[in-house]
Structure 1
Amino acid sequence: MQDVVLASGWISTGALLGNDIKALIFNVGIPVLCGLFVLFVGWKTKAPGPTITAAVLATVVWGLAANMDTLQSKTVEDVTHYDSTMTVHKGDQ
């Protein structure tokens, strides 16, 4: 039986297609979609509260996408830290 990793390497797949398409997605695609999301919510609700909330959520998504490299290295540090500190003593189960 083979191990299958689900949803593995979407970013690496984009990198295989080329750094240009990766830069296009992160520098153009995500900001455009975030802007369209805010405009759509504002148009459909015609109220300031949901529109402001949509703008905050879009900003969070845009910011996380812009800092993907930082988040990736932080995640690797966390996983390495927890792997090295997780010890199971006999009788702890």
Structure 2
Amino acid sequence: MQSVILTDDWITIDTGLGADIKTLIFKVAIPVLAKVFIFVVGFKTRAPGPTIMAAIFAGIMVGLSPSISTTAQVTSDTINQYNNGGSNSTVLQGDR
């Protein structure tokens, strides 16, 4: 019987395809989509408040997108630590 991984995150798949696609996504696609988001919100609402909030949210997305691999690693470490029972934790009878 052959083992098959059914789920895989898109960063790992993207790394397998090459670093050029990853660079294209993080340095071109995400900033362009953020600008489109700001223009669409600004055009639809024609109000400064929602447009400013859209710009803030787009800035957060563009700023945090390069650190997504770090976030994935921290999340993976946290899950592994939880699955191993934690570092200094004791499992009581009623916990499971």
TM normalised by structure 2 equals: 0.77
Three-state SS of the structure 2 residue aligned to 1:34 is: helix
Task: Look up the equivalent residue of 1:76 and give its one-letter code.
Answer: S
Give the root-mean-square deviation of aligned CA atoms.
2.3
1-structure distance, mates of 2:13, 2:4: 19
What pairs with 1:12-91 in structure 2 (closer than 5 Å)? 12-84=12-84, 85=86, 87-91=90-94
Identical amino acids, percent of aligned pairs: 42
TM normalised by structure 1 equals: 0.79
Task: Look up the equivalent residue of 1:14 and give its one-letter code.
Answer: D
Structure 1 stretches of 4+ moved >2 Å: 2-6, 76-84
Per mean C-alpha deviation after superposition, the further-off stretch among 39-48 and 70-79 is: 70-79
In the TM superposition, residue 57 of structure 1 has moved relative to its aligned partner by 1.0
In the TM superposition, residue 62 of structure 1 has moved relative to its aligned partner by 1.2
Q: Give 5+ residue unaligned stretches, structure 2.
A: none
Q: How many residues matched?
A: 91
| Contact 2:26–2:65, Cα closer than 8 Å, also in 1 | yes
In the TM superposition, residue 87 of structure 1 has moved relative to its aligned partner by 4.8
